[in-house]
Structures are given as structure tokens and as C-alpha cells.
Copies of this chain bind each other. A is one copy, B any other.
Amino acid sequence: MQERASRTRRVILHAAAETFEARGYAATSLRDIVDLEGVSKGALYFHFPSKEALAIAVVKEHYDLWPEVITRLRPRYPRAVRLMLELSREVARLSRESVMVRAGIRLVLERNLIGPAVPRPFVSWITATEMLLGESREQGDLLPGVDLENMARFIVASFAGFQQISEVRNRHGDSSQCVNTMWQCVLPSLVNGDCLSEMASLVHGASGRS
């Protein structure tokens, strides 16, 4: 019972993510979704009462990922700057490899088409980044005079912009390189010399500046 049901649910959710990611919320028909994996319309309706609910489920699926990621990485990297760096890499990797993540991101950006139940985009990322920047300052890695709030927004913005661009150019090909480039540009304006030289080797990939 429960096993088959939850498998069907996952199949539907995956097909939905696939289609939502490719075409967006409004241009996706439920027909597209059910045809993709051969499930029936009734099965969809059984698990999700509406298109909106399906989209929200996709978003939730992808949102539930972040706490897991952060608790997995945090013990490994006590230094907040390093943690941010690895976090961004992990997010980039997930974006590259998981349709669910990409779909979730896209749907969140289209939240005004779906409903207020979808969380606002970026805000959780920004606050998380701001928090980590605060830790970095306490750890003495930051340059003096860095405006935490604006910097957090800038980091998230660059990152988001990169995701969008790399999706257009080469299908999620060099996103890891993009992240390196980003940090190469950001770190000099963010951390002090000691930290910078320590981090240098981590973002040495042949990008931005050799």
C-alpha cells in the first residue's frame, strides 16, 4: 500500500519538477506531467488536490534540502568563510544535478503566479549568508567596514545571476568554475589579507583571474 503509493508520489513529483523546470508554472499542463511518466490523472489528483499543491510540494521538497545540507557541512568547516564557500559549491552542484532543486528555484521565482503559500525567493538565502558573514566577522576574517546586509545580498545576487546565465550558455556545464570566479571577485573586497591568501588556493580554478 504505502510503498506503492509513495513511489507513485515520487514519480509524479519528479515528473512535475522536470516539466516545471523546463516550462515554468503557467505553461505546464498537468497532462504534460502525467504523460511524462505514464501515470494517470487520477493518481495525480489522489496525491495532489490541485496544480498549486503540486507546485508547493515541489518547492517544499527542495526547501527541505537546505537544512540537511547545512548541518552536514557545518561541522566540517568551522571557519564561516570557508563554510560559505563550500556551501555555495554544494548548492551549485545540487542545481546542476537535481531537477527538483532547479524546479524549486524556478517556482519560487514565479510565486506570484502560484500563491502566497510559496515562500518568497532569496530571503532565506540572504539571511543565512548574513548570519555567516556575522560569524566571519567574529572570527576576525572580515575586512573592517563591510556592510553585512548589502554584502549578503550581493553574494546571493551574483550567485543567482550566475545560475541563470550558466543555464543559458551551456547546460549547467561549468557552474563550478562560475562559483570560483565569483569568489575570486568577491573575496578581495570581503576578507582581510591573511584569510584571502589562505582561501586563494581553493578558488584557483582557471577563471576570472589566473
State the A residues within 8 Å of B (CB). 22-27, 109-110, 112-113, 120-123, 126, 143, 145-147, 150-151, 153-154, 156-162, 164-165, 168-169, 177-178, 181-182, 184-186, 188-190, 206-210
Contact = CB atoms under 8 A, between A and B. Distances in A.
Nearest to A23: B113
A156 B160 CA distance: 11
B153 A24 contact: no
A207 B121 CA distance: 22
A156 B165 contact: yes
Given A158-B158, A168-B120, A185-B185, A208 B26 contact: no
Nearest to A162: B157
Contact of A146 (B145, B178, B208): B208
Given A24-B26, A147-B210, A181 B154 contact: yes
Contacts of A126: 165
A145 B210 CA distance: 5
Chain A interface main SS type? helix
Copies of this protein chain in the complex: 4
A175 to B, nearest CB: 11
Contacts of A145: 209-210
Contact of A164 (B25, B146, B147, B160): B160
A177 B158 contact: no
Given A24-B24, A189-B189, A160 B150 contact: no
A129 to B, nearest CB: 12
A177 B164 contact: no
A46 to B, nearest CB: 11
Nearest to A184: B189
A40 to B, nearest CB: 13
Contacts of A109: 164
Contacts of A121: 168
B154 A157 contact: no
A191 to B, nearest CB: 11
